[in-house]
Structure 1
Amino acid sequence: MRILFITSTRIGDAVLSTGLLRHIHETYPNARVTIVCGPLPSSLFEGYPNLDDLIILKKEKNHKHWFKLWKKTVSTKWDMVIDFRNSIVSRTVLAKQRYIYGPSIDKNSHKVEQAAQLMRLNAVPAPKLWFTPEQMVIAKTFIPQGEKVLAVGPTANWIGKTWPAENFIEIIKWLTGEGGYLRGAKVAVFAAPGEEEGAYQVLQSVPVENQINVIAKTDPGTAAAILSLCNFYIGNDSGLMHSAAASAVPTFGVFGPSYPHLYAPWGEKSCYTRTPQSFDELIDYEGFSPKTLTDTLMRGLSVDMVKKALENNKTRLFD
């Protein structure tokens, strides 16, 4: 069985689409799957057990990247095409079944639920990541065997949805200190290239002997493999947060100017809290521009609010 799976260029959306890869693996264990994605999330798919080919789609002028993809895929008789990008390719290659993201999808439902709707599934398969042996070997060099590890993602791709570094520092001390849920744990701090400054501020607040530096050190797939060895993750709304949840790590997301009804971390061991103000309320002021914003919009979410949310979900997150 040959399946063409076209997913996102962004890490978060790509991870949230992996529930369908889980469904394919469990339902069609012998299927050969060609995955198409952007360069950034490509390493997240390298360990997929049904992977036949991984095509990295690099955007070009005049939609040339879609023409190149069509040339690579048109000669194959596909049993199934699944397309999150609503592309012309999925409509013009030979396929017995086509599942194309379009108007029938409820755009107000969570992205994981939208994925299930795409294939008309009654049950909603949770996102899942698989890792290559090489990724796991590298991961084990970061995470000491037998140690409790708190993973922290204190940055995001936009400053507006970045909870202040000093707040993360307080939460880390509370979680790992005397009486904390992760007392004495080592602290692994993660960040993508270009987001190092705030991450290093958080890392340097941790006693040197408990620091694990995963700041711009690896590709997203290897970072997810490292996360899979941690005991708990807390971080801003980001692709890293979704990678943690999809790696079966108890995950707590901190939300501000974003949409948790679409992007909350998904899973039995995942939950979130948010600013008292909604996205629309946070950006409703004269002169707001996402491009010129220089400070977080999340100062309304206090450390005490996050502590309370963690305590209210302690059974889900820490038992």
Structure 2
Amino acid sequence: MRLLFITSNRLGDAVLSTSVLRHYVETYPGIKVTVACGPVAAPIFEAVPGLERIIEMPKQKRGGHWWKLWKSVAFRWWDIIVDLRGSATAYVLPGWKRVVLKGNDDSVHRVEQLARLIGVDPAPEPFVWIGPEHERRAAKILPTDERPLLVVGPSANWIGKTWRPERFAETIARLRAVGGALEDAHVLLVGAPNEREASEPVIASIPENRRTEIFGSEHLLTVMACLRRADLYVGNDSGLMHMAAASGNPTIGLFGPSRDEHYRPYAKWGRAVRTDWSYDKIIENRSSPLSKEILMDTLPVDKVVSAAETLLRDYRIEEKHHG
């Protein structure tokens, strides 16, 4: 049985789409999988069970990337074709079952919309598979002692949804303080290569022997392996936030000029903490649609720290109960 899985260019949407891929992999053991996606998202699929091929689809003029994809897959029979980009491709390929996402349903979270598309209830949570080599690398990067691990994503692909560095620094300091929820935690800072400079004030606020940083310097599945070791993730709305939620560990996503009802961390221990202003109010009050201003200033540090403390407390109570 073969599955062609066409998914997003963007990391965050690709991570959310793993909820669908997980359903097919778990429902049809041994299924052979081909994934077509953008280059940024491609690494997260490298350890998918039954993976035959990843086809990277960098955008080309006049839809050339779709023509390239068609040539790559048109001469094979597909038992299932899933197209989450709503193209016509699924209808012009030889196959048995076709599942095509034709647009967003703004009444539900994106994961719940995907679950409805494939007729599954409750919605499967996103899941990112990793290999033993990524586990080994994570073990080498991170400390081997018993200190808690706090992972922080202080950047994003748009400055508007980026919380100010000094607020991240204060939040980290309060969580790590004596008597804090993650006393003396080691801090892993993560982001894209081009986001490190903006994150410098956060990095500098943490003692050198209490921090590790990964800004594009490691494979995304190594980052995933590190996230699975985390006690808590705190970060802006980003692909890394969705990866953290998919780890199953406590995850706090910070929201302002993006809709948490559609993109909150979709996991049992995922929580969205949004600005005191609504999405609509933020958008109405920005200086212009092209502005390069931070739009997260109505999110106070106290709100984030309190949410983190509550989440960790609830998580630990349940862990103790089941442990």
Q: TM-score, normalized by length of structure 1?
A: 0.94
Unaligned runs of 5+ in 1: none
Q: Give yes or no for contact 2:256–2:296 (8 Å, CA) kept in 1.
A: yes
Tell me the SS of whatever aligns to 2:193: coil
- 1: CA distance between counterparts of 2:316 and 2:174? 14
Q: How does 1:73-222 map to 2 (within 5 A)?
A: 73-102=73-102, 106-147=105-146, 148-222=148-222
Any residues of structure 2 matched to 1:1-319 within 5 Å, and which? Answer: 1-102=1-102, 106-147=105-146, 148-285=148-285, 287-290=287-290, 292-293=291-292, 295-319=293-317
Could you list the runs of 5+ residues in structure 2 that have no partner in the other structure?
318-323
Q: Kindly state the Cα deviation for residue 146 of structure 1 after the two structures are TM-superposed.
A: 4.0
Q: Is the 8 A contact 1:48 1:130 kept in 2?
A: yes
Q: Which moved more, 1:225-234 or 1:29-38?
A: 225-234
The residue type equivalent to 2:132 in the other structure is P
Measured in 2, the distance between the counterparts of 1:122 and 1:268 equals 15
- Counterpart Cα distance in 2 of 1:61 and 1:77: 28
Letter in 1 for 2:304: V
Distance verdict in 2 for CA 1:259–1:140, change over 3 Å: same
Structure 2: distance between partners of 1:286 and 1:227: 34
- What is the one-letter code of the residue matched to 1:289? P
Deviation at 1:280, TM superposition (A): 1.9
On the 8 A contact 2:269/2:311 being kept in 1, the answer is no
Higher helix share: 2
Question: Could you tell me how far apart the structure 1 residues matched to 2:311 and 2:129 are?
Answer: 27
Alpha-carbon separation, structure 1, partners of 2:311 and 2:137: 32
Say whether the 8 Å CA contact 1:20–1:125 is kept in structure 2. Answer: yes
For 1:173 and 1:204, the matched residues in 2 are separated by 12
Return the offset for 1:109: 1.0
Q: Which amino acid aligns with 2:223?
A: A
Q: TM-score, normalised by structure 2?
A: 0.93
C-alpha deviation, 1:317, in angstroms: 4.3
- Asked whether the 8 Å contact 2:250–2:311 carries over to 1, the reply is no
Contact kept in structure 1, 2:250 and 2:312, CA below 8 Å:
no
Distance of 1:73 and 1:243 partners within structure 2: 29
2:24 aligns to what SS in structure 1?
helix
1:103-142 alpha-carbon deviations (Å, 9 max, x no partner): 5x63321011111112121221000011123322222221
**Residue of structure 1 in register with 2:320 after alignment:** none
More displaced stretch, 133-142 vs 153-162: 133-142
Contact 1:17 1:127 survives alignment (8 Å): yes
SS at match of 2:44: helix
Letter in structure 2 aligned against 1:304: D
Contact kept, 8 Å, 1:5 with 1:34, in 2: the verdict is yes
Structure 1 residues 115 and 49, CA gap change in structure 2 (3 angstroms)? same
Instruction: Give a deviation string over 1:35-76, Cα, whole Å, max 9, x none.
Output: 111000111010111211111111111111101111111111
